[in-house]
Amino acid sequence: MAQKDRPWLFRTYAGHSTASASNALYRSNLAKGQTGLSVAFDLPTQTGYDSDHVLAAGEVGKVGVPVSHLGDMRALFADIPLDQMNTSMTINATAAWLLALYVTVAEEQGADISTLKGTVQNDIIKEYLSRGTYVFPPAPSLKLIGDIAEYCYTSVPKWNPMNVCSYHLQEAGATPEQELAFALATATAVLDEVRPRVSAEDFPGLVARISFFVNAGIRFVTEMCKMRAFVDLWDEICKERYGVEDPKLRRFRYGVQVNSLGLTEQQPENNVYRILMEMLAVTLSKKARARAVQLPAWNEALGLPRPWDQQWSLRMQQIMAYETDLLEYDDLFDGNPAVDRKVEALKAGAREELARIDDMGGAVASIDYMKSRLVESNSDRLAKIERGDTTVVGVNAFTGGEKSPLVDEQGGIMTVDPAVEQEQIDRLNDWRAGRDDLAVRRALDELRTAAREGRNIMPPSIACAKAGVTTGEWGTAIRAEFGEYRAPTGVSKAVSNTATGLDDLREAVGDVAARLGRPLTFLVGKPGLDGHSNGAEQIACRARDAGMDVIYDGIRLTPEQIVAAAREGRAHVIGLSILSGSHLPLVRDTLARLAAENLSVPVVVGGIIPEEDADQLRADGVARVYTPKDFELNRIMFDLVELADPDRIIAAE
């Protein structure tokens, strides 16, 4: 028996409402035995907007903490010594800005920034593919990643400047082979970018600072083999592609959050077992064990977890690490022929996909290709659940049972007070009023000049943080130089060759289209800043395959833009997809704009929507509300056909 290993970092992905409320949550979690921080930022912060921007309406403090300026960052880490902390910040497009704020607060605390430990995710390619919090086009985005890597290597050497994130790739439908290949292609794109920035002697050390953030699904044997494949392939790439000779510098270092996509609204107590089984995939194999683990809470398919729910997930980690004998043994799977065969098969599939991406010119040049593959894979995954080929307990099998006592009269989740948004805006206005405007203008001018001239963005970003610049002002300055970008949707116009079992649905669509006198037109809209587009893409694909004309322009649209598209496209039904918790204000805004233009178009809404909110939406005039429990896409399609039927409309009148 080998010497007992140290446990991985225990983290909880957390942040909501306000910086001060999130700070209290962090300090409480640390007191419960959490050993690292994992910061969730709200969508305006992630996309470079201030809390009072039109696109931020309804989004402030919903999926994370709003950080609009240095004052917010100070409040977020008050009484938390950053030189003693290991902090992961899930931030991508605005990573340079949030790191600048973090470094500034650490300096104010008296820390030697060269000792800071932590990670910025800083993976923009997966944002184009799966999560949607991108801002800038690929080329300048890759340069920003390089700027952060170069700055960290010289000034914050213990900090991980990039966390290649395959987590959201799996959430978007990636197979294990695709997850391996797309993540490794992203890592090589970044290393190719930063390689010219440092000496050949120093480059292996920079390679060693690249870390990964992965997903682990319920097929935990396959997922464990995937992690062993990651270890082997990364070692191979570092040695053969980049000439890194020291094995220690070729180590595959990763953190993990296990799969949130597989958590179910139905029988949500079952999610506890799912989370536990998925954690086994990233802890059982010593060779491929995670360096840091954060687990979702059992009720994340219902809404925002409460502190107790997060504590329950933390205790799961602690029991695994401290009560079992897992950390006392060498790797349990070395020499296992079944494991070896599966690992080699995954590596072969990943190498084939990597070669294809290389032939296309690398990850950035292959964004359209990778996005379309993810949409196809996700369609296949959902179809297997619908057909019953994949069993999901409580969803398409064993659906009967007792009502969960964990879901109380409040719904078993935490809700964010709507007043938080105005309070944050008030604090933002106070901040603006109390700063030196001349210093702000000078700092922003220097930031834009640095961006225009191609200089490293980190030093002027830190100067902006110290001058009192806001997140939105930083974002506006960088947008002015780099421009903005709209990623591909992955939803083609062509009907899928794999679509089957749609004959009755296509006939119904055709009948209604004949009565309408033109094709049944369905608009899929993503209002606000929510970038989780997987559901919207699958709805759009199924409607297309059913014979509808589909209008889908991707993410991050205002209600005004959606209503304009519905008017111009003469949509018969509008479907709004919102998973960020901002459904009430965004849907109401859309309904009001439709009424103002006398557009009588039925609206359906999908998202993580508590039943109380669903009742309010229906009372407001929403025709249908769908949540994750509504996994049968064909049933939703028949609902759309019914809503568009002119005979129904005449009868209703």
At residue 303 the predicted structure's pLDDT band, cuts being 50, 70 and 90, is confident
Residue-level pLDDT at 499: 65
CB atoms within 10 A of CB 479: 14
Given a cut of 70, is residue 653 above it in pLDDT? Answer: no
127-141 average pLDDT score: 95
Residue-level pLDDT at 304: 87
Pick the CATH number of 9-387 from 3.20.20.240, 3.40.50.10800, 3.30.70.1290, 3.40.50.10420: 3.20.20.240
At residue 492 the predicted structure's pLDDT band, cuts being 50, 70 and 90, is confident
470-489 average pLDDT score: 96
Residue-level pLDDT at 498: 63
Residue-level pLDDT at 497: 64
CB atoms within 10 A of CB 494: 7
Q: Is 69 a catalytic residue?
A: no
194-222 average pLDDT score: 95
Report the distance separating Cα 382 and Cα 628, nearest Å: 12
Q: Is 128 a catalytic residue?
A: no
Number of H helices, E strands in the chain: 25, 15
Whether 9-387 shares its CATH topology with 502-651 is answered no
Residue-level pLDDT at 1: 47
pLDDT tens profile 402-450: 989 998 777 788 888 889 999 999 999 999 999 999 999 999 999 999 9
Q: What share of the chain is helix, strand, coil (3-state, %, to 5)?
A: 55, 10, 35
Q: Is 342 a catalytic residue?
A: no
71-98 average pLDDT score: 98
What are the boundaries of each domain within the chain? 9-387, 420-482, 502-651
Hey, what are 310's tokens? 């997060």
Residue 260 DSSP one-character state: S
Report the distance separating Cα 588 and Cα 595, nearest Å: 11
Residue 570 DSSP one-character state: T
284-306 average pLDDT score: 94
Active-site residue (options: 16, 62, 347, 532): 532
Q: Is 309 a catalytic residue?
A: no
Residue-level pLDDT at 409: 73
Q: Is 53 a catalytic residue?
A: no
Among residues of the chain, what percentage have pLDDT more than 90? 91
Domain 502-651 has CATH 3.30.420.40: no
Active-site residue (options: 69, 168, 347, 583): 168
Q: In whole numbers, what is the pLDDT of the chain averaged over residues?
A: 95
0.85 exceeded by pTM: yes
107-117 average pLDDT score: 98
Buried b (16+ CB within 10 A) or exposed e, 415-454: bbeeebbeebbebbeebbeebeeeebeebbebbbebbeee
Active-site residue (options: 50, 52, 530, 613): 530
Residue-level pLDDT at 64: 95
At residue 535 the predicted structure's pLDDT band, cuts being 50, 70 and 90, is very high
At residue 135 the predicted structure's pLDDT band, cuts being 50, 70 and 90, is very high
Residue-level pLDDT at 496: 74
Least confident window among 213-217, 490-494, 526-530, 596-600 = 490-494
Active-site residue (options: 342, 526, 572, 583): 526
Given a cut of 90, is residue 261 above it in pLDDT? Answer: no
Q: Is 329 a catalytic residue?
A: no
